[in-house]
A = this chain, B = another copy of it.
Amino acid sequence: MELLFFAYRDFTGRPDEILAEFGLGRAHHRVLYFVGRNPQINVNALLNILRITKQSLSRVLGRLVGQGYIIQHPGKKDRRQRLLELTEKGVNLEHRLFNNQQTRLARAYRLAGPSAVEGFWQVLTDIPDRPSSVKKPSEKQEES
């Protein structure tokens, strides 16, 4: 139980330091991450993943767009949508953050061994609410 807390705490620790150099926070990290993994995602889909209000997202996203980490462009099928995508600058930063966490995970994986990793995934997948918003974009936005 508390392991989840410690894991999360230390998992975000290093990235937080890196982000601080750029005057960004954890919230910006999450946006970078999910936009990076879901190019051309629209705002609504992103809101559903993060489960925050559009006003909260707006502040964070606006900053990322303003500083050139993310670009927006209208959807082709639905021009009301603003589809989000990392710029090269955004990709770079995201990679830097990602690598850091990956290193930590890799260490844990190495220590624990492959079968443990398998179980880890298994359980972790089952913790969130039912269908989960992970890689199930089938229901929403096939944008652009």
Q: In which size bucket is the chain A interface?
A: 35 or more
> Does A21 make an interface contact (CB < 8 A)?
no
The proximity string for A residues 113-125 relative to B, scoring 1 for CB distances below 8 Å and 0 otherwise, is 1011111111111
B104 adjacent to A7 (CB under 8 Å): no
Q: Which residue of B lies closest to A126 (CB)?
A: B108
B residues near A133, Cβ cutoff 8 Å: 6
**Known contacts A4-B8, A51-B9: does B116 contact A123 (CB below 8 Å)?**
yes
> Does A78 make an interface contact (CB < 8 A)?
no
Q: Which residues of A contact B (CB under 8 A)?
A: 1-11, 13, 30, 33-34, 37, 51, 98, 101-102, 104-105, 107-109, 111-113, 115-129, 132-134
